[in-house]
Structure 1
Amino acid sequence: MNIREWPLKERPREKLLQRGAGLLSDAELVAVLLGSGVSGRNVVDLARGLLARFGGLRQFLEADRETVLREPGMGPVKYAQLQALLEIGRRYLDAGIERSPALESPVAVRRYLKAMLRHESSEVFGCLFLDSKHRPLAFEILFRGTIDRASVYPREVVRRALQHNAAALILCHNHPSGSCEPSQDDVQLTLSLKRGLGLIDVRVLDHIIIGDREPLSMVEQGWIGG
């Protein structure tokens, strides 16, 4: 059935305007972004099919360009709109954390860091710089590629901490494989950074590892001291 034949209250765009985006399903949200379906399929059916083939919303939004463009109804314009949406979301979170008066909870920090790193296809290492009251100053990705003691330079982390006048920081990196389990190199790197930053009175509060599941806190898991 053509979506124009649906009752107004059931159409995704009208439902969003009248009742809020939070009540829409993943497929309905994607349908609002796509705007139109293809011959023989309305936009909601198209969105449901895309999510089913890719295995879910995140997998669809993070799929590479060539794969997405092979799908019926997915041209360069719609792909560009989806990528713009993802980047807007990341920038919104980034601006929000820097305006926050203080870190509300470890859960909020992990959610933020996961949003900033989970989409990366290669391993990246970043820092959330904090003031003396643990209010966020800035977030930066400092290194890209395979993360080990040879490719993360403590001197650069120290330099950026000094430039931000940080009193503390939270280290983070992602595992593109999806596993959150820290390697021995992750632990040794963290301890090395703690020693180096301790020389300039900057505390390392935690090292968060981002994978498919809930982000892992190395402090909570007992891999490093808080």
Structure 2
Amino acid sequence: MERQVASDCRVANREHFPVLARGHISQWSDSQLLGFILQQRHSPQSSLHIANQLLQELGSLHGVLNASQNVLCSVPGVGPKKYIRCQAIVELHKRTSVQHVERMMKLDSVDESKAFFISQLQYYQHECFAVVLLNSQHEFLHYRELFTGTINSASVYPREIVKYVVDYNAANVLIGHNHPSGSPEPSQADIAMTQKIVEALGLIDVQVLDHIVVGVGNAVSLAQRGCL
């Protein structure tokens, strides 16, 4: 009986996840990718049904990966373990991006800066303020997420940024934060906060190269907007 169940499961897997038999994972649909991650040992059909339901209710893969545990687990068939699997994907993506920058050594273009901050911040459901430290050659030194919550000029403390910069003897910094609403358009509060940080770091001869505001899959550079 167990052999028959295992055989049936292998057949079902080949039908619902064709890469196991042929082809390439890039050819999978969003529901197949998500279903494979969420699949239950003996029920690939059920995992595909759950994946389709999640995509229908949350709109996209980004919506699924960005959903809170309460929202995700409100879908029948999704429990804490499946939520953790989704969060593991996000964390793998973030760590891969940091390691890529560490190997590349430099973040010396606006496009590279945007891509990096998008990879780190776009999935947060709350605002998060982060800093990249660079040396005088714009080589990567360190990355840290310093503040979370409602990011404004009152909740971001320049002295904490100064301390972080001094600890690593950085010469330049990139700063970034996300807008959970999905729109990367900078607010007047964002611009005012940036100016406070520029002034604080200027006192120790450290330059703020850019402030990247992250939305869903896109970002705005305040340097390109002439706001630094």
For 2:10 and 2:150, locate their aligned partners in 1 and report how far apart those are by CA, in whole Å.
50
- Kindly provide the amino acid, as one letter, of the partner of residue 132 in structure 2: L
Report the 3-state secondary structure (helix = DSSP H, G, I; strand = E; otherwise coil) of the residue aligned with 1:74.
coil
**Unmatched runs of 5 consecutive residues or more in structure 2:** 1-7
State the Cα deviation string for residues 44-86 of structure 1 (Å, max 9, x = none): 3432232122111011112121222232332332222222222
Equivalent residue, structure 1, for 2:103 = 99
Map 1:49-68 → 2, pairs under 5 A = 49-68=53-72
Q: Are the structure 2 counterparts of residues 51 and 203 from structure 1 closer, same or farther at C-alpha, using a change threshold of 3 Å?
A: same
TM-score by length of 2: 0.84
1:51 & 1:12 partners in 2: Cα distance? 20
Matched residue SS, 2:133: strand
Instruction: For residue 169 of structure 1, report the CA deviation from its aligned partner.
Output: 0.7
Aligned-pair CA distance for 1:10: 6.9
Indicate the SS of the match to 2:36.
Answer: helix
Structure 2 residue aligned with 1:77, among 75, 78, 81?
A: 81
Q: Does 1:25 align with 2:29?
A: yes
Residue of structure 2 aligned with 1:158, choices 147, 162, 172: 162
CA 1:13–1:192: 2 relative to 1, 3 Å: same
Unaligned runs of 5+ in 1: none
Q: Percent identity over the alignment?
A: 35
Structure 1 residues 84 and 39, CA gap change in structure 2 (3 angstroms) = closer
Letter in 2 for 1:200: I
8 Å CA contact 2:9, 2:42 repeated in 1: no
**1:124 to 1:183, Cα distance in 2 relative to 1, 3 A:** same
**TM-score, scaled to structure 1:** 0.85
| 2:87 aligned with 1:87 | no
**Equivalent residue for 1:47?**
51
Give 1:42 shift.
4.7
Q: 1:167 aligns with which of 165, 168, 171?
A: 171
- RMSD over aligned CA atoms reads 2.7
- Kept after mapping to 1: 8 A contact 2:17/2:36: no
Distance, in Å, in 2 between the alignment partners of 1:222 and 1:38 is 57
**Code of the aligned partner of 1:78:** K
* Structure 1 residue 11 corresponds to structure 2 residue 12: no
What is the rounded CA distance, in whole Å, between the counterparts of 2:16 and 2:45 in structure 1? Answer: 17
Is contact 1:124–1:141 with CA below 8 Å preserved after alignment?
A: yes
Paired with 1:128 and 1:54, the residues of 2 have a C-alpha distance of: 32
One-letter amino acid matched to 1:118: Q
* Residue 222 of structure 2 corresponds to residue 218 of structure 1: yes
Q: Per-residue deviation at 1:163?
A: 0.9
Question: Does 2:180 match 1:176?
Answer: yes
> Do the aligned partners of residues 134 and 21 (structure 1) sit closer, same or farther apart at CA in structure 2, a change above 3 Å counting?
farther
Residue 30 of structure 1 deviates from its aligned partner by 0.8
Q: Is the 8 A contact 2:13 2:20 kept in 1?
A: no
Indicate the SS of the match to 1:58.
helix
Q: Establish whether residue 207 from structure 1 lines up as the match of residue 211 from structure 2.
A: yes
